[in-house]
Chains A and B, each alone.
Chain A
Amino acid sequence: MDFSYSYLVLVLPLVTFLFLGLMGTRLSRKTAGVVGTSMMGITAVIAYAISLAYFFGTDQGQIIEGIRQQIVAWDLTWLEFSEKLVIKIGFLLDPISAMMLIVITTVSFLVHLYSLGYMQDHNHEYEKGLQRYYAFLSLFSLSMLGLVVAPNIFQMYIFWELVGVSSYLLIGFYYTLPAAVSASKKAFIVTRFADLGFLVGILILSYFTQTFDFITLTSNPTAAIETAGGATFMGCSVMAWALTLIFMGGAGKSAMFPLHIWLPDAMEGPTPVSALIHAATMVVAGVFLIARMFPLYCMEEGTMTVITVIGAFTAFYAAAVACVQSDIKRVLAFSTISQIAFMVTSLGVARPELHEGVGYMASMFHLFTHAMFKALLFLCAGAIIHAVHSNEMSAMGGLRKYMPICNIAFLIGCLAIAGIPPFAGFFSKDEILVAAFEQHTFWGIWMMLVAGMTAFYMFRLYYKIFWWNNPDYGHHTPHDAPMTMSLPLIILSVVSIVAGLIPFGEFVSWNREAYHIHLNYTVAISSVAVAVVAILLATKLYLKENEAPAKMAKSFKGLWTAAYNRFYMDELYQFITHKIIFERVSRPLAWFDRQIVDGSLNSLANLANSASFAIRKLQSGSIQSYVYVYLIGVLLLAAITVICLI
């Protein structure tokens, strides 16, 4: 099969970005939106064609002995520094990149469509630059697509950074709001800090393996690991360090603890952006990165343990915080962190020998379903915010009467994320739990507990928005969103219902061999039981307005306050950066720089200056004083001559 036309997937968003970015101000808002959306639609169609051709193509060489082959559609040499240091731009097709193509273009297209309605009047004074908004969205789509199809780690790094930039631009889209500006800076700095680890990891890895190429690296991971020749650094092998550092980059983008602090703040951006970037696509880049290099990671048991522990802890932490937040977008943000942590944990516990590497498949499956239902939830949240003009739960309640479509869509999303069959989340989460149990019962029970918390906080959110009480909305009655906004909700609802039924394992597995998903009924039944119990608990507490939640909050006051303040992680960062780094490190360094480094040079300059001032009187320009000095000199010489010689 010829995939050479796949360059269109990258070129079309690029052209759109350039067109809207350069010419956007000459277009009307509506035209710009329509242009951006339709270009994204075309891109989506092409991406679907590529993916479907890849998955269902019957050509010779596409599947050899049951293994799907990795296909490099095209590969251009971009920079050639030396014989070995060559940076290429290419297009790698394999199950996960084809799957990501579908996810990204679907969500991106739906978000483009949704934004046509959402960005129309809401917050209108901030939304002068709709053209700019669509240009940035195109830039983001381009970078994300470039990231997932990268056949070498360097291209991935480049697009990785581009994704970070477009995320920064979109979070700070309402640039007149100080909160948005600082949130965008925070997101950029934190992820850049993590990317430092990524870059160092890339350098170490490629220094030893002499290649950036994913296929070379992963087709023979043992050889790649052995290129380091058992070199160690601080007690760990160099390759473990390299992979851990690369994971650090992934953890930054995927908001793993302790680098998660930027994601809740990133909700300052427009809600469709949150749906696209901070729920469905960009934040799973870290998961995708580990999956891409999975055979290498399998070789380093220590790194896998690190990944598992960080993922499991983040899942629990974020779920705990999500239980008490009052801003609906924050709840969804922490839910996103928690769900991505599920995927990371799933990769961390995956081993080729354990149940045919089910963790890998589960992680990718969850990535796929989560992208759909989390985008759905965010877009619903956008519609709700659009309707009531507030992010706070206290301003909502009883909305089921006013917004029926939104109500149903949100409920479907909640059921999906809670893991109730037959919704999408059930199947993927079940596989993750199976993988966790395969690794160790502890991880299995831990993740099941977190899954229960997920169900609880999602239904708390749902009830608080749509049930709870019936506040008086006054003359401004909330109503369902317009069709451009409702249509994506409906599409994503349908997808969220049926996505779990896709035989995902047939397409994606760690060794690209078809894998038959079969439910583990023990795990499935117990996880559903936990979810149902959690939902019932949430129903009891939040269905009708009552005092029980407030009482509970009071009786667990310390815990509740700590969770509400996200366990003081932001304060901890503030403390570390300001009190320790700025005060104790930067300030003395600045002092040293100013007083000692600059000071020594300045004092030298001052010395020369004052010396010049002191002796400049000698150079008076007065001939008479010169002559006088000269005469004195001559007289001295004469006196010496007279005294000594005569």
Chain B
Amino acid sequence: MESVGNIIMYFIIALAIIVFSVLTVTTGKILRAATYLLFVLFATAGIYFQMGYEFLGAVQIAVYAGGILVLFVFAIFLTGKPGKASEPLESSKKKIGLSAAILGALVCGYALFSKADMCNAVVSQPIDVTINNIGSMLLSTEKFGYLLPFEAISILLLACIIGGIVIARKR
């Protein structure tokens, strides 16, 4: 049995995710879409906090909400008139997109509901995820150690930085 606060918190988060996801892809103004995305990301961070992964939630907010979204906003300002609504979509295009989305939802929904016993699992035991724990696992070479992916992602980020500079620089 969950605490009432937790349940209320869940509904707020779920509602926020559903509403703002839909708004993100349906709004005509690109800057608004970015803003709605920001709310979705915050709500996602909320889920992470609720699950007990505080570090992940913090990263979500810092990197996504703080970093990526700022990049989006800059890009929007650089490439167009942010206040201007884009022209309405043609209905054929809308139908295609809707069909793809609904078809995907149907397939996944069927998969979910056919595994009802798995989906009915509840949180059984508290977890203990400390920063200390995460740090030592990231840099460990033992079993369940993540040093290799960690280094790989470091290289990837470096490559990304160089690539970003090379692509975006004026010729």
Contact = CB atoms under 8 A, between A and B. Distances in A.
Q: Direct contact between A and B in the complex (CB less than 8 angstroms)? A: yes
B107 A639 contact: yes
Contacts of A639: 107
Contact of A635 (B96, B103, B114, B115): B103
Contact-residue size bin, chain A (C-beta under 8 Å from the other chain): under 10
A64 interface: no
A267 to B, nearest CB: 80
Contacts of A628: 96, 100
A646 B104 contact: no
B110 A642 contact: yes
Interface string A607-646: 0000000000000000000001001100100110010001
A556 to B, nearest CB: 92
Choose among B103, B104, B107 the residue with the greatest number of A CB atoms under 10 Å from its CB.
Answer: B107
A642 B110 CA distance: 8
A639 B115 CA distance: 14
A631 B103 CA distance: 10
Given A635-B103, A635-B107, A639-B107, A646 B96 contact: no
Nearest to A639: B107
A463 B100 CA distance: 108
Nearest to A637: B107
Contacts of A632: 100, 103
Contact of A642 (B96, B100, B107): B107
B107 to A, nearest CB: 5
B111 interface: yes
Interface in A321-340: none
A628 B111 CA distance: 21
Interface in A311-327: none
Q: Interface residues of B: mostly helix, strand, loop or mixed? A: helix
Contact of A638 (B100, B107, B114, B115): B107
B27 to A, nearest CB: 18
Nearest to B104: A635
Interface string B82-107: 00000000000000100010011001
Contact of A646 (B100, B103, B114): B114
A642 B114 contact: yes
A632 B107 CA distance: 11
Q: Interface residues of A: mostly helix, strand, loop or mixed? A: helix
A646 B107 CA distance: 12
A217 B25 CA distance: 100
B120 to A, nearest CB: 16
Contacts of A646: 111, 114-115
Contacts of B111: 638, 642, 646
Nearest to B103: A635
Contacts of B107: 635, 638-639, 642
Nearest to A642: B111
A631 B101 CA distance: 9
A631 B102 CA distance: 12
Contacts of A642: 107, 110-111, 114
Interface in A70-88: none
Contacts of B103: 632, 635
Interface string B58-101: 00000000000000000000000000000000000000100010
Interface string B31-70: 0000000000000000000000000000000000000000
Contacts of B110: 642
Nearest to B97: A628
A110 B92 CA distance: 96
A98 B78 CA distance: 102
Interface in B96-130: 96, 100, 103-104, 107-108, 110-111, 114-115
B161 to A, nearest CB: 25
Nearest to A625: B96
Interface in A149-204: none
Contacts of B100: 628, 631-632, 635
Contacts of A631: 100, 104
B103 to A, nearest CB: 5
A628 to B, nearest CB: 6
Contacts of B115: 646
Nearest to A638: B107
A639 B107 CA distance: 6
Nearest to A643: B110
A645 to B, nearest CB: 10
B76 to A, nearest CB: 20
Nearest to A629: B100
Nearest to B114: A646
Given A628-B100, A635-B104, 17 more contacts: A628-B96, A631-B104, A632-B100, A632-B103, A635-B100, A635-B103, A635-B107, A638-B107, A638-B108, A638-B111, A639-B107, A642-B107, A642-B110, A642-B114, A646-B111, A646-B114, A646-B115
8 contacts: A628-B100, A631-B100, A632-B100, A632-B103, A635-B104, A639-B107, A642-B110, A642-B114
Interface of A: 628, 631-632, 635, 638-639, 642, 646
Nearest first, the 10 A-B pairs at minimum CB distance are A642-B111, A639-B107, A646-B114, A638-B107, A631-B100, A635-B103, A635-B107, A635-B104, A628-B100, A642-B110
